Amino acid sequence: MLWKQLSPRYRKLLRDGERGEALVVAAKKDVSKSDTYGVYGWNVTIRVKRVDGTSADFDRYVEAKYADDIAPGTVLPVRFDPSKPSRVEIDTEALREAGAAQAAHAHAAEDERVREAESRIRPLGSGPPET
């Protein structure tokens, strides 16, 4: 857990902030330093576009539990404070929901492949397989 997640102001922004999108322009994996490999998260630089046509970059950290992979070019959901556009945070709940939907879709596709393959296999004892 990131310490800022304990801040009521941070939690309020993620709950009530306006929704937007940001582009990942740089991403570096935070990997374990032990003999077992593991990704803890990503240090990312995100870029947002403002209404006036300018853009701004922000450095943020995304824990691995919220996303499978993040690379430059990825579009991430964010929450921001319209009265202070420099307050931008990655919308981790939206990331988690998108990941769950993606996993459900992949699981449904796997189930379909299993059903299709099952319809093609021959019952045991019905003779040798056709070649």
Please check whether residue 84 lies inside any domain of the structure. Answer: yes
Over residues 11-15, the mean pLDDT reads: 88
Q: For the whole prediction, is pTM greater than 0.85?
A: no
Please check whether residue 33 lies inside any domain of the structure. Answer: yes
Q: Would the pLDDT of 64 be above 90?
A: no
Name residue, tokens 């556009």.
Answer: 85
Specify the range with the lowest mean pLDDT, choosing from 19-23, 30-34, 72-76: 30-34
* Domain of residue 38, residue span: 18-120
Name residues whose C-beta falls within 8 Å of residue 106's C-beta, 6 or more positions apart in sequence. none
What is the tally of structural domains in the chain? 1
Q: Kindly indicate the confidence band of residue 36, based on its pLDDT and cuts at 50, 70 and 90.
A: low
CATH for 88: 2.40.50
Q: Would the pLDDT of 23 be above 90?
A: yes
Please check whether residue 8 lies inside any domain of the structure. Answer: no
